Amino acid sequence: MSSTGQEPLIATYGLTKSFRGKLAVNQVQFIVQPGDVFGLLGPNGAGKTTIIRMLLGLIRPSEGRAMLFGKDIELDRASILRRTSAIVEAPALYPHLSGWDNLRVMGQMSGVTDPKRLEWALDQMGLLDRSKDRFRTYSLGMKQRLCIAAALLTDPLLIILDEPTNGLDPAGMRDIRELIKTLSAQGRTVFLSSHLLNEVQQVCNRVAIINSGTIIAQGIVDDLLASRSFVQLRIHPTEIEVALNILQGLQWVKSVRRENECLMVEGPITQGAALNRALGQADIFASEIIPRSISLEEYFLSVTGQLPADYSGYGPPVQSILPQEGRHA
């Protein structure tokens, strides 16, 4: 059980995979709670797809375990995949078959043969009018949607999408984003991997950041971003030392740094007024109070060490929150 008391839908423990001695994924641990829209973020080649393949039993971990619905994918594959649908990498179905026939094939494989269910899935994805056309004639966005329609046939509780917006135009990206929100609203848990951080920030509530096969940060998106948000105060140079001392004494301030005539106060950006009040009691009045929140992209760049050398917007790194339960010895 996690700290929230809820059993995680996905939990990995020391998940490791090496190919011919080369480590692709190293001791990966993360949890996904029921109802989450979880984003696995990382640059290309970071190990995202390898993790997804291990979650789905396509490849075997060299070490560690992947638990879905509380069961080990190595041991309870069928019962896990009965409740899971996924699209791994590019959308792939049978090119010589129509959208309808592709769904029939996928439905047959899962024991779903009711034509109404097939129609419903196509309708959900807005593909009913193109259902007689061959898959090879579909645009990338339509292929993606047909694969999702195939994924919905079994009414899965968990949907895993690997780079779902890859290669899509802005309209296609928006459609997928809306779709993910819809799936989540229907009570499904969505796990997606992406290197498009803006996309992820718009749909995910929880993320893990992976770089070179290792998870370097994870947690609830708002918490992660809040951990790096700060308020910038411009103070008269003669008062700056006093202000520094006052602010350092505030309970909710994580850290204060001086940069020229400014103080960078790391802490909740909603506390600007409280900062001003504390300083005002000492007759110090800031000429500027600027709340600065960071984007997921900035957060990602900061934790992956890819920020420009002259970037000055961040405080010191904040320790990430890793799952401890069930950790292997």
Partner 1 sequence: MLNLVLAEILKLRKLRFMVVTIFIPLGLCAALLTIMLLIKGFGASYGSLPSDPTNTGPDLGKGVFSFGGLIFLNGIGAFYAIGLVIIGGLIIQSEYNWNTIKMLAIREPSRPRLILAKAAFMALYTVVVIVFLAISWLIYSMGLKILYDLPFSLDESDGQAILKGLRFVVLAFAVYLIWSLLGMALAIQFKSMVAAIIAYLVYSGLDGILSSIGGSALTGRLGTIFPEWLDPLINISKFVAPFLINTSLTRLTGQTSNSAYVESISPIQSLLVLLAWGILFTLLAVRIFSRRDITD
What are the residues binding partner 1 (CB under 8 A)?
19, 53, 56-60, 77-78, 81-82, 84-86, 88-90, 92-97, 101, 104-106, 108-111, 113, 147, 150, 154
Which is closer to partner 1, CB of 59 or CB of 278?
Answer: 59
Q: What's the Cα-to-Cα distance from 85 to each of 32, 62, 197, 241, 314, rounded to whole Å?
A: 16, 24, 23, 58, 39
Which is closer to partner 1, CB of 188 or CB of 228?
Answer: 188
Q: Residue 71 Cβ, how far from partner 1 at the closest point, in Å? A: 14
Which is closer to partner 1, CB of 11 or CB of 81?
Answer: 81
* SS3 (DSSP) at 6: coil
Q: Residue 214 Cβ, how far from partner 1 at the closest point, in Å? A: 20
Count the alpha carbons within 13 Å of 186 in the hemisphere toward its beta carbon.
15
Sheet of 288-292, strand order: 255-259, 262-266, 230-234, 288-292
Paired sense of beta strands 158-162 and 230-234, if any = unpaired
- Asked if 184 contacts 216 with a C-beta cutoff of 8 angstroms, the reply is no
Q: Is 57 left (phi over 0), alpha (psi -120 to 50) or beta?
A: left
Which is closer to partner 1, CB of 72 or CB of 101?
Answer: 101
Q: Residue 99 Cβ, how far from partner 1 at the closest point, in Å? A: 13
Which is closer to partner 1, CB of 110 or CB of 320?
Answer: 110
Which is closer to partner 1, CB of 109 or CB of 290?
Answer: 109
Q: Residue 287 Cβ, how far from partner 1 at the closest point, in Å? A: 59
- Asked if 165 contacts 195 with a C-beta cutoff of 8 angstroms, the reply is no
Residue 197 to residue 219: CA distance in whole angstroms = 15
Residue 148 to residue 155: CA distance in whole angstroms = 11
Q: Residue 96 Cβ, how far from partner 1 at the closest point, in Å? A: 6
Tell me which residue of 52, 44, 113 sits closest to 85, measured CA to CA: 52
Which is closer to partner 1, CB of 97 or CB of 140?
Answer: 97
- Give the total residue count for the chain: 329
124 token code pair = 């959900």
Q: Which residues make Cβ contacts (< 8 Å) with residue 35, sequence separation at least 6?
A: 184, 187, 189
Q: Residue 164 Cβ, how far from partner 1 at the closest point, in Å? A: 15
Q: Residue 192 Cβ, how far from partner 1 at the closest point, in Å? A: 15
